[in-house]
Structure 1
């Protein structure tokens, strides 16, 4: 049997080194395959627009079942891959227009955002929860943007009764990755079966769904072992989510990135508890385990 020449041996060593380096890079990439966009900074998540250009499409209530249609905001480029998706419900008597500012702001950070209309302006939280889930099902199976979405990375948000609906949706579908009830209203206070990381946003001067009777009990009613946080907007009213709000956007982006995209680059904005003049109280189960 002939011996390999020194040149051949060097070639084999080089090939092995390249293979190991490449496999190491692949393994490193695989640790966080859902990362989208550049490394974040305080200014980048406080900005009115993120790094992704966005478009929108309107969904007629006549073309869907289970909810009242709405507007989908989405990144125009999929060069970095597919995106997580979030369905968002307005509050009692409100329409999608009450939360329209959230759509492009969150989508430009690398999400597909569906601001929905409900079947009736008077739908209660349980119904709104069902409608949020119907909207997610539509997004991932029938919508014109379904090919842009990773159906395993989904979340819900909502204001007032829509926030109560977000809690209902997480109870009914444990596979959801993130939930953000905004100044939420719901007669149920205990959510011991919820398994979805949840950011409860309350408003210090809320006279409709006071933090004492709603947001605070929601937070404490979630499992102690859950990745959860309570953020209270200082001096704010129940209707704070209905107009552009940097604090809501900033921490919603961080929460969605951290738990829908599993992007630990955003952990810095959540743990340790933020010191922000716009926040009157913040609680969290740091460090986050997932």
Structure 2
């Protein structure tokens, strides 16, 4: 027994010596454990802030330069000191343009993502088409865009509002390699999504009369596999069009979800588990905890 204790103590001491060796910092060790962490340790204030720690630049993609989608705007961290970033493409809703979801661009990018808010081929596109366009925009980002060198092509996610939310589910179904999906008050005639293996945060609104949660967001969420990392956030005092204007609750939980699954950054799990309780902005929250198990 003493030999076992002594051996354990020696191994522990050796590990501490390695971590405390000259030139080896705890931060370096943490970075080695997860090379995708970006930005300082999060706080409630930091995930609710209008802007995160990164300065953001933007560039426009003309519809003439786009293949399979309608062009858009790329928002990206200006600094390259931290290496590459995960990327997220966001689709607007039915009859809408990228301007309707533009607020998410700089807000998410400033937290350490490359974000592409897109226009669709027509404003009347259905969810299956929007799903294909989200994927085409991701391919443009990683293969042809001016910022492709800033992106880790293995860490990608999709978001979308309304028809774009339905398209988000379609994209996740079509491309299982996606790391995260966030449909915002999504609309789709398909109510069941057992094929999806991408961690998915479904966001609905209690006052939605266009895509009521009882016939859209709730069945979307409930149909996702039970083994999947998934969550359902129902906004309190909200409508179908709440995602079209700056919203701290949408931003906070979208950031936490994207950080947790696109960046594999477990520092953000504190905002998702234990499950958030109903409050002035949350009508209901369901989800799987712990995440990544």
**TM-score (structure 2 length as normaliser):** 0.91
Q: 1:289 aligns with which of 278, 288, 292?
A: 292
Distance in 2 of aligned mates of 1:229 and 1:81: 30
Q: Deviations over 1:234-282 (max 9, x none)?
A: 0100000000000000000000000000000000000001134210000
Count of residues in correspondence between the two structures: 275
Q: How does 1:170-249 map to 2 (within 5 A)?
A: 170-249=172-251
**TM-score (structure 1 length as normaliser):** 0.91
Q: 1:90 aligns with which of 92, 105, 110?
A: 92
- Structure 2 gap segments, 5+ residues each: 1-16
SS state of the match for residue 191, structure 1? coil
2:19–2:29: 8 Å Cα contact kept in structure 1? no
Q: Deviations over 1:190-233 (max 9, x none)?
A: 11110100000000000000000000000001001000000000
- Structure 1 gap segments, 5+ residues each: 1-16
Q: Deviations over 1:101-128 (max 9, x none)?
A: 1100000000000000000000000000
Distance in 2 of aligned mates of 1:233 and 1:261: 25
Q: How does 1:1-290 map to 2 (within 5 A)?
A: 21=21, 28-275=30-277, 276-289=279-292
How far does residue 20 in structure 1 lie from its aligned partner after superposition? 9.2
Distance in 1 of aligned mates of 2:281 and 2:117: 25
Tell which structure's C-alpha radius of gyration is larger.
1
How far does residue 27 in structure 1 lie from its aligned partner after superposition? 6.0
Q: Deviations over 1:158-216 (max 9, x none)?
A: 00000000000000000000000000000111111101000000000000000000000
